[in-house]
Chains A and B, each alone.
Chain A
Protein backbone atom coordinates (compact mmCIF):
# COMPACT_ATOMS: atom_id res chain seq x y z
CA UNK A 1 0.00 0.00 0.00
CA UNK A 2 1.13 3.51 -0.64
CA UNK A 3 2.49 5.31 2.37
CA UNK A 4 3.66 8.81 3.16
CA UNK A 5 6.03 9.26 6.08
CA UNK A 6 6.75 12.51 7.84
CA UNK A 7 9.21 11.60 10.58
CA UNK A 8 8.95 14.79 12.62
CA UNK A 9 5.77 15.80 14.39
CA UNK A 10 7.28 19.09 15.51
CA UNK A 11 10.08 21.17 14.05
CA UNK A 12 11.23 24.32 15.82
CA UNK A 13 13.60 26.74 14.12
CA UNK A 14 14.68 30.30 14.73
CA UNK A 15 13.61 33.08 12.42
CA UNK A 16 16.08 33.37 9.56
CA UNK A 17 17.30 29.77 9.90
CA UNK A 18 16.88 27.24 7.08
CA UNK A 19 13.93 24.90 7.17
CA UNK A 20 13.64 21.35 5.89
CA UNK A 21 10.45 19.37 6.40
CA UNK A 22 10.97 15.75 5.51
CA UNK A 23 8.65 13.54 3.50
CA UNK A 24 9.28 10.02 2.24
CA UNK A 25 6.90 7.94 0.19
CA UNK A 26 6.50 4.32 -0.76
CA UNK A 27 4.93 3.79 -4.16
CA UNK A 28 6.08 1.70 -7.05
CA UNK A 29 4.62 3.79 -9.86
CA UNK A 30 5.09 7.41 -10.89
CA UNK A 31 4.31 9.46 -7.79
CA UNK A 32 2.18 12.55 -7.67
CA UNK A 33 3.24 14.46 -4.59
CA UNK A 34 1.98 17.61 -2.94
CA UNK A 35 2.60 19.75 0.10
CA UNK A 36 -0.43 21.19 1.88
CA UNK A 37 -0.36 23.76 4.67
CA UNK A 38 -2.79 24.64 7.43
CA UNK A 39 -2.27 28.03 9.08
CA UNK A 40 -3.95 28.72 12.40
CA UNK A 41 -7.72 29.10 11.98
CA UNK A 42 -7.51 28.65 8.21
CA UNK A 43 -8.43 25.88 5.84
CA UNK A 44 -5.98 23.36 4.55
CA UNK A 45 -4.62 24.62 1.28
CA UNK A 46 -2.20 23.55 -1.38
CA UNK A 47 1.31 24.90 -0.99
CA UNK A 48 3.00 23.28 -3.96
CA UNK A 49 3.10 20.18 -6.11
CA UNK A 50 6.13 18.40 -7.45
CA UNK A 51 5.15 18.60 -11.10
CA UNK A 52 5.04 22.40 -11.13
CA UNK A 53 8.61 22.77 -9.83
CA UNK A 54 7.85 26.28 -8.63
CA UNK A 55 8.64 28.21 -5.46
CA UNK A 56 5.72 29.31 -3.32
CA UNK A 57 6.28 31.68 -0.38
CA UNK A 58 9.98 30.86 -0.68
CA UNK A 59 9.39 27.12 -0.30
CA UNK A 60 10.64 24.55 -2.79
CA UNK A 61 10.41 20.78 -2.90
CA UNK A 62 12.34 18.42 -5.12
CA UNK A 63 11.29 14.91 -5.92
CA UNK A 64 14.14 12.47 -5.40
CA UNK A 65 13.07 9.14 -6.85
CA UNK A 66 16.25 7.40 -5.74
CA UNK A 67 15.64 8.28 -2.09
CA UNK A 68 11.82 8.29 -2.53
CA UNK A 69 11.72 11.69 -0.86
CA UNK A 70 9.95 14.99 -1.39
CA UNK A 71 11.39 17.26 1.28
CA UNK A 72 10.13 20.82 1.66
CA UNK A 73 12.79 23.48 2.03
CA UNK A 74 13.09 27.18 2.68
CA UNK A 75 16.41 28.97 3.11
CA UNK A 76 15.24 31.56 5.68
CA UNK A 77 12.28 30.87 7.94
CA UNK A 78 9.76 33.63 8.71
CA UNK A 79 7.40 33.81 11.66
CA UNK A 80 4.41 33.61 9.31
CA UNK A 81 5.62 30.19 8.18
CA UNK A 82 4.50 28.71 11.49
CA UNK A 83 1.82 26.20 10.54
CA UNK A 84 1.00 22.54 10.09
CA UNK A 85 2.49 21.02 6.94
CA UNK A 86 1.23 17.86 5.31
CA UNK A 87 2.86 15.85 2.57
CA UNK A 88 0.35 14.07 0.30
CA UNK A 89 0.46 11.46 -2.41
CA UNK A 90 -2.10 10.65 -5.09
CA UNK A 91 -2.30 7.11 -6.37
CA UNK A 92 -2.67 6.44 -10.04
CA UNK A 93 -5.71 4.41 -10.81
CA UNK A 94 -7.72 4.82 -7.63
CA UNK A 95 -7.31 8.58 -7.18
CA UNK A 96 -6.77 8.10 -3.46
CA UNK A 97 -5.06 11.02 -1.78
CA UNK A 98 -2.97 9.84 1.17
CA UNK A 99 -1.57 12.27 3.70
CA UNK A 100 1.31 11.98 6.12
CA UNK A 101 0.78 12.66 9.82
CA UNK A 102 1.90 16.24 9.39
CA UNK A 103 4.73 18.32 10.81
CA UNK A 104 4.08 21.34 12.95
CA UNK A 105 6.58 24.05 12.10
CA UNK A 106 7.24 26.53 14.85
CA UNK A 107 9.36 29.56 13.93
CA UNK A 108 10.83 31.19 17.02
CA UNK A 109 11.24 34.98 16.80
Chain B
Protein backbone atom coordinates (compact mmCIF):
# COMPACT_ATOMS: atom_id res chain seq x y z
CA UNK B 1 0.00 0.00 0.00
CA UNK B 2 2.17 2.87 -1.30
CA UNK B 3 -0.29 5.77 -0.76
CA UNK B 4 1.06 8.95 -2.36
CA UNK B 5 4.44 8.63 -4.05
CA UNK B 6 6.51 11.63 -5.11
CA UNK B 7 9.64 11.58 -7.23
CA UNK B 8 12.34 12.75 -7.09
CA UNK B 9 13.09 13.40 -3.42
CA UNK B 10 15.74 15.99 -4.20
CA UNK B 11 16.49 18.05 -7.28
CA UNK B 12 18.85 20.88 -8.15
CA UNK B 13 18.12 22.95 -11.23
CA UNK B 14 19.74 25.90 -12.90
CA UNK B 15 17.69 28.97 -13.68
CA UNK B 16 15.76 28.46 -16.90
CA UNK B 17 15.78 24.68 -16.83
CA UNK B 18 12.56 22.73 -16.96
CA UNK B 19 11.49 19.66 -15.05
CA UNK B 20 8.49 17.64 -13.95
CA UNK B 21 7.75 16.60 -10.40
CA UNK B 22 5.90 13.32 -10.38
CA UNK B 23 3.04 12.38 -8.08
CA UNK B 24 1.14 9.11 -8.09
CA UNK B 25 -1.48 7.68 -5.76
CA UNK B 26 -2.92 4.19 -5.57
CA UNK B 27 -6.01 4.92 -3.48
CA UNK B 28 -8.31 5.82 -6.36
CA UNK B 29 -8.69 9.35 -5.02
CA UNK B 30 -10.45 11.84 -7.24
CA UNK B 31 -8.87 14.88 -5.59
CA UNK B 32 -5.18 15.67 -5.96
CA UNK B 33 -3.23 18.81 -5.23
CA UNK B 34 0.22 20.37 -5.12
CA UNK B 35 1.56 22.59 -2.34
CA UNK B 36 4.80 24.37 -1.74
CA UNK B 37 6.16 24.77 1.76
CA UNK B 38 8.35 27.75 2.54
CA UNK B 39 9.64 28.96 5.94
CA UNK B 40 7.24 31.44 7.49
CA UNK B 41 4.73 30.98 4.66
CA UNK B 42 3.26 27.60 5.53
CA UNK B 43 1.71 25.46 2.83
CA UNK B 44 0.47 27.28 -0.23
CA UNK B 45 -1.74 25.66 -2.83
CA UNK B 46 -0.32 25.70 -6.36
CA UNK B 47 -2.83 23.68 -8.40
CA UNK B 48 -5.46 21.11 -7.68
CA UNK B 49 -7.64 18.63 -9.53
CA UNK B 50 -11.04 17.19 -8.66
CA UNK B 51 -10.82 14.40 -11.23
CA UNK B 52 -9.20 13.27 -14.45
CA UNK B 53 -9.26 16.03 -17.04
CA UNK B 54 -10.14 18.74 -14.50
CA UNK B 55 -7.59 21.10 -12.98
CA UNK B 56 -7.75 24.51 -11.36
CA UNK B 57 -5.41 27.10 -9.94
CA UNK B 58 -4.59 27.58 -6.30
CA UNK B 59 -3.00 30.53 -4.53
CA UNK B 60 0.37 30.53 -6.30
CA UNK B 61 0.00 28.99 -9.77
CA UNK B 62 2.36 31.22 -11.75
CA UNK B 63 5.33 29.36 -13.20
CA UNK B 64 3.71 25.95 -12.82
CA UNK B 65 1.63 23.77 -15.13
CA UNK B 66 -0.38 20.66 -14.36
CA UNK B 67 -2.44 18.10 -16.19
CA UNK B 68 -4.52 15.13 -15.04
CA UNK B 69 -4.83 12.52 -17.72
CA UNK B 70 -5.41 9.64 -15.28
CA UNK B 71 -6.88 9.33 -11.80
CA UNK B 72 -3.56 8.06 -10.45
CA UNK B 73 -1.10 10.70 -11.68
CA UNK B 74 -0.82 14.45 -11.22
CA UNK B 75 2.53 15.78 -12.46
CA UNK B 76 3.71 19.33 -11.77
CA UNK B 77 5.75 21.02 -14.48
CA UNK B 78 8.18 23.87 -14.12
CA UNK B 79 8.74 25.23 -17.62
CA UNK B 80 11.52 27.69 -16.77
CA UNK B 81 12.78 27.37 -13.24
CA UNK B 82 13.51 30.48 -11.18
CA UNK B 83 15.31 30.83 -7.81
CA UNK B 84 11.96 31.89 -6.28
CA UNK B 85 10.75 28.35 -6.92
CA UNK B 86 13.27 26.92 -4.49
CA UNK B 87 11.01 25.16 -2.01
CA UNK B 88 9.73 21.85 -0.71
CA UNK B 89 6.85 20.57 -2.80
CA UNK B 90 4.13 18.29 -1.48
CA UNK B 91 1.54 16.35 -3.38
CA UNK B 92 -1.65 15.36 -1.60
CA UNK B 93 -4.74 13.37 -2.48
CA UNK B 94 -8.14 12.77 -0.97
CA UNK B 95 -11.38 10.97 -1.69
CA UNK B 96 -13.15 14.29 -1.10
CA UNK B 97 -11.40 16.93 1.00
CA UNK B 98 -14.50 18.13 2.81
CA UNK B 99 -15.26 14.64 4.06
CA UNK B 100 -11.96 12.80 4.23
CA UNK B 101 -8.39 13.75 5.03
CA UNK B 102 -5.60 14.70 2.66
CA UNK B 103 -2.91 12.04 2.24
CA UNK B 104 0.49 13.58 1.64
CA UNK B 105 3.57 12.42 -0.16
CA UNK B 106 7.04 12.67 1.35
CA UNK B 107 7.88 15.84 -0.51
CA UNK B 108 10.40 16.96 -3.13
CA UNK B 109 13.11 19.39 -2.09
CA UNK B 110 13.89 21.60 -5.09
CA UNK B 111 16.78 24.05 -5.28
CA UNK B 112 17.10 26.45 -8.21
CA UNK B 113 20.46 28.15 -8.56
Residues of A within 8 A of B (CB): 6, 9, 32, 34, 36, 43-46, 49, 86, 88, 90, 92, 94-102
Contacts and interface: CB of A to CB of B under 8 A. Distances in A.
Which of A36, A96, A97, A101 is packed against the most chain B CB atoms within 10 Å? A97
Interface residues on B, range: 20 to 34
Interface in B79-109: 90, 92, 96-98, 101-102, 104-107
B98 A32 contact: yes
Contacts of B56: 94
Contacts of B33: 97
B27 to A, nearest CB: 14
Contacts of B98: 32, 90, 92, 95
B66 interface: no
9 contacts: A43-B105, A44-B90, A44-B104, A45-B101, A45-B104, A49-B101, A88-B102, A96-B48, A102-B43
B74 interface: no
Which of A9, A45, A101 is packed against the most chain B CB atoms within 10 Å? A101
B41 interface: yes
B97 A101 contact: no
B106 A97 contact: no
Interface string B32-55: 010100001111110010100000
A99 B101 contact: no
A100 B43 CA distance: 7
A94 B59 CA distance: 13
B90 A100 contact: no
B50 A95 contact: yes
A63 to B, nearest CB: 14
A100 B42 CA distance: 6
Given A36-B102, A95-B96, A96-B58, A86 B42 contact: yes
B101 A95 contact: no
Contact of A99 (B35, B50, B96, B107): B35
A95 B48 contact: yes
